[in-house]
Chains A and B, each alone.
Chain A
C-alpha cells in the first residue's frame, strides 16, 4: 500500500512570495495533519483536516492556511513568506484522527531567501 506522498520535496522561494505544498494521504485515510519542523522547535502542529473541514488548528499566523479535497488530498499554503518560514513541512495521515496512528510523508523542505 502506497505511503503518504508530498510534493514538491524541495522548494526555494524569496521573501514575500507565496507557496503551496501538496499531500496525498494513504488510501482510505481521511485525516490529514500538517506540521512544521525546525531544528530549534521540533515538530509544531499547524492544522488537521477531516472530510474537507479544518478540525483543529495550531498557533500559527493566518498566513498559513490549508484545505482538503473530497479525495482526502490536502494542500497547505503560506503567503507573504518570511525567512523564519524556512523549515521541513510534514504531512501525516491517519484513518480518522491524529489521535490514531499517524503516518508521515517525507516532507517538503522549504527554504526562504
Chain B
C-alpha cells in the first residue's frame, strides 16, 4: 500500500532559525514528489516538484532534497519568518496511468517572534 509519512507532526521554532521537515514514502513505482505549503483556511500552494533524477531543488528560502534510494525527502527552511507558519504537505505520485497520488498528513509549523 502506498503511504507517505511526515515528521514531526508539529513544530515550533523561533523566528530566524532554520528547520527541517521530513517525508518518508513507500510509493512505488516513484514518479515525483512535491512539497506544498498550506496557510490556515487556504488551499495548498506548490513549493517544489522533484523527479527521480533530482536530489535537490530550491525555491527561495525553501530547499527540498530527495533520496530515491531510501525513499526519503526533506524540506529545509532557512532563516524562518513569521509568514512561514503553515502546514507543509508532502505529496508523492506513482507511475501507472491514472492518478496515483498519495498525500502526507502534513507538518504544522509555527514560527514565533
Chain A residues packing against B (C-beta within 8 Å): 4, 33, 41-45, 48, 55-56, 88, 90, 92, 97-99, 101-107, 109
Interface size bucket, B side? 20 to 34
User: Which B residues touch A43, using CB under 8 A?
Assistant: 44, 89, 103
When A42-B89, A99-B93 are in contact, do A104 and B43 touch as well, CB less than 8 Å?
Answer: yes
When A42-B89, A43-B89, A101-B34 are in contact, do A56 and B43 touch as well, CB less than 8 Å?
Answer: no
Whether the pair A107, B105 counts as a contact (CB closer than 8 A) is: no
* CB of B18 to closest CB in A, whole Å: 25
Best-buried of B34, B98, B99, B105 by chain A (most CB within 10 Å): B99
Q: Is the CB of B19 closer than 8 A to any CB of chain A?
A: no
Quick one: which of B41-87 are within 8 Å of A by CB?
Answer: 41-46, 49
Question: Which of A42, A45, A90, A92 is close to B105, meaning CB atoms less than 8 Å apart?
Answer: A42
* CB of B106 to closest CB in A, whole Å: 6
